[in-house]
Amino acid sequence: MRDVFQQELAEVQHRLVDIARLVAISMDKATRAFNESDVSLAEEAITEDEKIDELTVELDELAITILARQQPVARDLRIVVSALRISASLERMGDLATHIAQLARYRFPDKVIPKGLRGTFAEMGALDVVIANMLTELLTNQNMQLADKIRHEDDKVDALHLSVFDAVLGETWKGLAADTVDATLASRYHERFADHAVSIAKKVQYLGTGAWHQDDRD
Amino acid sequence: MRDVFQQELAEVQHRLVDIARLVAISMDKATRAFNESDVSLAEEAITEDEKIDELTVELDELAITILARQQPVARDLRIVVSALRISASLERMGDLATHIAQLARYRFPDKVIPKGLRGTFAEMGALDVVIANMLTELLTNQNMQLADKIRHEDDKVDALHLSVFDAVLGETWKGLAADTVDATLASRYHERFADHAVSIAKKVQYLGTGAWHQDDRD
């Protein structure tokens, strides 16, 4: 019974890694669609997210089946509950990638963001992809240094998010209201994406150390 | 043992109702702070959210303890897992109320939104409070008609959310970029708040009917 449980936990972990990998691919496609105004890449990002939604529902069902059949306690129980929470965060990350892809599709054939901010959004998108790849690795090998690295990259995303507001609210901003709306939303989506990664990293850390972070769902 | 379990489930439900009630209070204060530029109400909304954060962490710990001690299966198990998910959504709703309160505090003593959109935001805020109160009632009595009503009110919030973009992107919009940013963010927060309520309502319905909604985490 114990062996079966360990196998099932390994399966849960394996599926979380697969979903995280798709999240990274989806954000990569969404951010390139956004920056290059590529509507077919936007469609691909949205299709990846549909797959992510399916996989997270299946993973949740597996986790609930494990709870029912194996009735884990203590740390084992917390691993399964954490998997449910991590799955919910990954699902939201996929949604946020889709929102960015939808902005690209909506404005097509125009570019979403005026020239002055394109570098900032390219950087934010690249950071989000790096973060999602780190998350995939963290879920694979539980190397806690990666959790710190994710937090570090998230700080960079937060700084860029603030710089978008500085740009948009600055005197030299020449964008139309539509540009301001797009920049505000896209920046918020990138910031939330990285936040979810930090939240997942804290959960993985918590399982490693047993220390509950009060702010793990920021 | 069974009686203890039923008592514990009732305690979980009772706590969810308490948290939902605080969420309604927090959004009521946040939206009045936002519309009336009342910084002390904004502080109160933020304080309510801190309480919500504490209560959701405690509720999650209780739910995990119940899973470990009672080892529920089938529908009972799904009730406890759903409680964890509902708790996470309520926690996010509190965060969104805080974000709205923070916008009010940040712009004080100025009003956040220019005159032309104040009626729209007053309406969105009032709808979010109505929705949170309906949610409190739904969690109290599982009257499924309330779930449909929540969806109906959410449709109204979505329509207002779109109308904010129409206003901001229209030719008559005279707002500064700061107004555009604030309107975009506040409208998004209101919309997400209502979305979470719909998501919770679907979970309550699912427990009532056993029908899983693929889109329950929209």
Tens of pLDDT, residue by residue over A173-200, are 999 999 999 999 999 999 999 999 999 9
Return the pLDDT at A208.
Answer: 74
Confidence class for position A210, pLDDT limits 50, 70, 90? low
Return the pLDDT at B118.
Answer: 93
Return the pLDDT at B164.
Answer: 97
What's the mean per-residue pLDDT of chain A?
Answer: 93
Which residues numbered 12-31 in A keep a CB inside 8 Å of some CB on B? none
The alpha carbon of residue A188 is apart from the nearest alpha carbon of chain B, in Å, by 9
Return the pLDDT at B111.
Answer: 81
Question: What amino acid occupies position A146?
Answer: L
Return the pLDDT at A215.
Answer: 42
The alpha carbon of residue B4 is apart from the nearest alpha carbon of chain A, in Å, by 18
Tokens of A149: 């690295």
Top residue of A19, A58, A81 to mutate, by most chain B CBs within 10 Å, is A81
Across residues A86-112, what is the average pLDDT?
94
Rounded-to-integer distance, Cα B130 and Cα A144, Å: 44
Across residues A195-210, what is the average pLDDT?
88
Mean pLDDT by 10 residues, chain B (218 residues): 86 97 98 94 97 97 96 93 96 98 90 88 98 97 95 98 96 93 97 98 83 42
Confidence class for position A1, pLDDT limits 50, 70, 90? low
Chain B residues whose CB is inside 8 A of the A68 CB are 73-74, 77
Using the beta-carbon criterion (under 8 Å), do B168 and A181 form an inter-chain contact?
yes
Return the pLDDT at B187.
Answer: 98
Rounded-to-integer distance, Cα B197 and Cα A183, Å: 27
Using the beta-carbon criterion (under 8 Å), do B81 and A67 form an inter-chain contact?
yes
Torsions phi, psi for A200 (to 5 deg): -65, -45
Return the pLDDT at B215.
Answer: 42
Rounded-to-integer distance, Cα B195 and Cα B180, Å: 22
**Least CB-CB distance to A84: which of B81, B92, B165?**
B81
**Least CB-CB distance to B180: which of A88, A181, A217?**
A181
pLDDT, tens only, A101-117: 999 999 888 888 888 89
Tokens of B163: 């109308």
Tokens of B168: 């901001």
Using the beta-carbon criterion (under 8 Å), do A64 and B77 form an inter-chain contact?
yes
Chain B residues whose CB is inside 8 A of the A5 CB are none
Top residue of A90, A110, A180 to mutate, by most chain B CBs within 10 Å, is A180
Return the pLDDT at A114.
Answer: 80
Using the beta-carbon criterion (under 8 Å), do B181 and A168 form an inter-chain contact?
yes
Chain A residues whose CB is inside 8 A of the B169 CB are 177-178, 181
Rounded-to-integer distance, Cα A179 and Cα A182, Å: 5
Domains and CATH numbers, chain A: 2-209 (1.20.58.220)
Whether pLDDT at A218 is above 80 = no
Higher pLDDT, A89 or B106: A89
pLDDT, tens only, A17-55: 999 999 999 999 999 999 999 999 999 999 999 999 999
The alpha carbon of residue A48 is apart from the nearest alpha carbon of chain B, in Å, by 16
Rounded-to-integer distance, Cα B62 and Cα B56, Å: 10
The alpha carbon of residue A178 is apart from the nearest alpha carbon of chain B, in Å, by 6
